Structures are given as structure tokens and as C-alpha cells.
Amino acid sequence: MRLAPPVPILDVIRCYASSCSYIPELAVIAPQQFGIAISLPDGGTVTAGDAAKPLSIQSISKVFSLACVLGRIGDQIWTRVGREPSGSRFDSIQLLEIEHGRPRNPFINAGAIVVTDELLAGRAPREALAEILGLVRTLAEDDDIHISESVAQSETMTGHRNRALAHYLKSYNNLLNNPEHVLGTYFHQCAIEMSCIQLAKAGRAIAGLPDASAIISLPKARRLNALMMLCGQYDGSGEFAFRVGLPAKSGVGGGLLVIVPGRASIGIWSPGLNVFGNSHMGTHAAERLAHAMNWAVFG
Ligand code: GLN
């Protein structure tokens, strides 16, 4: 009699199968690559593997666009977006229909599209993009960070679900601007490229580390951490909190920004994704590191 393989093995096989499949430019990236950078309170950075290689930050950009919007209009954004975990895929349209066009949180795609729409208010897409890119560059103290036009174009060609979400939001009057302008801006912010080292550096302000940029105030950082903990891994957020116990934000490029409040900011990259669309090896690495260092927000 043949025994069914235990679930973790199936999980591993499935997860190693591919990098992000629906953005052609990302689908060709070898899934087993790995890099990590840990930025510490004394300003030092510990790195391993492909820590200096640029990765497509994708949904990690949602943390930075939200930070921009919170700086611009503060709590008003919560009239348009909720802040509860979704328990659904990051691109779920079903949830948006059930909730009459008010996205559950700013980290699922629909919520992030609304945040980007808010950033566009009265401005050209290039100005809104410049604000997000400017924030990231300031936080990482690195003006070399750029947007990959080829990744942005690749998603523009295949981003049909996001297009559906944007038009759905528009039908509920929860999109103020032209959907194509909002999507163009959103696809470009997702196509920002950063290395693990730059990501870890950019996360210092969210981790409240000494001498980090004061652009993200402590109360704002607290809220970003709360949202990252509850919504940062989509329908894998509960599992991630259980296994890792730290606020984090993932992206389908295989990047992961993990925050250890007051202690460290961690950038991880491994493009092979798990069933939730989060980095498979990145999640394992975060779990092992958190346990080894006894890093947790729950004491
Ligand atoms: N650009 C991607 C999308 O909108 C980001 C999704 C993600 O990283 N989870 O589909």
C-alpha cells in the first residue's frame, strides 16, 4: 500500500514549481534563489545569499503607498478602505462584491488600488509615483532605487483581474480617477526594484530603529505594523503570525519585509511562491530566524 505523502512535502513541491505566474517578466525568474539582509539598531547590516540583487517589490509597495496617503490625508482614508484581515486571495473580486465596493484592507489589491487612487487626487500619475519612489529612496537612503518599466509593462498586458477590480470600484464610486490612470500608477509602484539590503534599510523607520528617517512617525509606524501583522500575507496572514509572530509584508516577486519592532528590519527574497502567493522559502527563513533570535511581538 502506498501512503499519501504528508502535506508539507506536497506543499514544498507545489511551491517550488514556479515564481509568480501571471506577470510574464516575473514568471521567468528562477524560483530557488534566496537572499536576506538584516538591518540592526546599531546601523549594521547582516547579509547572506543574493542580498544585493534587485527584486520586484510588488505588494510590498502597498506599505509605502499607504504611508504616503496617511501622511497626506491621515485617517480619512479609512472611509474608503477597511482594516480587517480578508481571509481571501489578494485579488479576490468576490469579497469586493459582498462588501459593496469598500475593500477589506489596504493590502489586498482592491484596497491598494483605492490608496493609489487617493494618492493621485488632483495630480498626474507621474507625480504620485514620484512621491512613492521618493519615500522609498529617502527611507533606504539610496537614490539608485528605480522602477522597472519592463515589469510594469508586463503587468499592464496581463493585469486583467486588477482591471476588473478597478472598474468594479469605479461602479461603486470608490474610485475617483480614470481606472487606467490608477492602474498605470499601481502597476508602476509594484514594479519598483529594491535589493534585500535596500528593503531592510527602508523598513528601519517602521521598526522604529535608532536614527531611522523620521518621515514615518512612531504612531504611523505602529499602525503600519498592526496592518502588516493582520493583513500582510493575505489569506496566509494567520498562518504567518502563528509561525513567525512578526509583522511582515509580502509581494509576488518573492520579497518579504519583516519588522521586529525596536530590534531589526529584515528584507528577504526567494521567488518561489506558496499557495497564498507569498515567498515559500522566505516564510521558512523568517520563521527560523525569529525562533533562533527569539524575536516576536508576543513576548
Ligand atoms: N502587482 C501585483 C498584483 O497586483 C501585486 C500582487 C502581490 O504582490 N501580491 O497582482
Inform me whether the pLDDT recorded for 21 exceeds 70.
yes
Clarify whether 186 is annotated catalytic.
yes
Which letter does DSSP use for residue 273 in this model? B
By residue count, the chain amounts to 299
What letter does residue 269 receive in the DSSP assignment?
E
With cut-offs at 50, 70 and 90, classify the pLDDT of residue 18: confident
Straight-line distance from the first to the last Cα atom of the chain, in angstroms, rounded to the nearest whole number: 46
Per-residue cell: 113: 488600488
**pLDDT-above-70 percentage for the chain:** 94
Assess whether pLDDT exceeds 80 at residue 101.
Answer: yes
Q: How far, in Å, CA of 269 to CA of 256, rounded?
A: 6
252 is an active site residue = yes
Is the Cβ atom of 92 under 6 angstroms away from ligand 1?
no
**pLDDT above 70: residue 15:** no
Pocket test for ligand 1, best of 153, 155, 249 (most atoms within 8 A of CB): 155
The DSSP H or E segment spanning 118 is: helix 109-120
Strands 264-269 and 255-260: antiparallel
Domains defined along the chain, listed by start: 7-56+196-293 (3.40.710.10), 59-192 (3.40.710.10)
Q: Is the CB of 58 under 6 A from ligand 1?
A: yes
Cα 111 to chain centroid distance, Å, stands at: 12
Gap between the Cα atoms of 184 and 175, Å rounded? 14
Decide if 9 contacts 274 (C-beta within 8 A).
Answer: no
Q: Is 18:27 a contact under the CB 8 Å cutoff? A: yes
Residue of 37, 90, 64, 27 lying closest to 269 (CA atoms):
37
CA distance 29 to 270: 10
**Which pLDDT does position 12 carry in this prediction?**
53
Distance 48 CA to ligand 1 centre (A): 26
Binning pLDDT at 50, 70 and 90, where does residue 14 land? very low
Task: Indicate whether residue 251 lines ligand 1 (CB < 6 A).
Answer: yes
Residue among 55, 13, 59, 53 at smallest CA distance from 162? 59
Conformation bin of residue 124: beta by default, left when phi > 0, alpha when psi is -120 to 50: beta
Please write the tens of the pLDDT for every residue from 206-265.
999 998 888 899 999 999 999 999 999 999 999 999 999 999 999 999 999 999 999 999
The rounded distance, in Å, linking the Cα atoms of 12 and 193 is: 27
What is the arithmetic mean of pLDDT over 30-57?
97
pLDDT at 291 over 60: yes
At 152-201, the pLDDT tens digits run 999 999 999 999 999 999 999 999 999 999 999 999 999 999 999 999 99
β-bridge mates for residue 56, sequence order = 193
Beta bridge mates, 267: 37, 257
Strands (E), 77-215: 146-147, 192-194
How many angstroms separate the CA atoms of 122 and 99, rounded?
27
Backbone angles phi, psi at 55, to 5 degrees: -125, 155
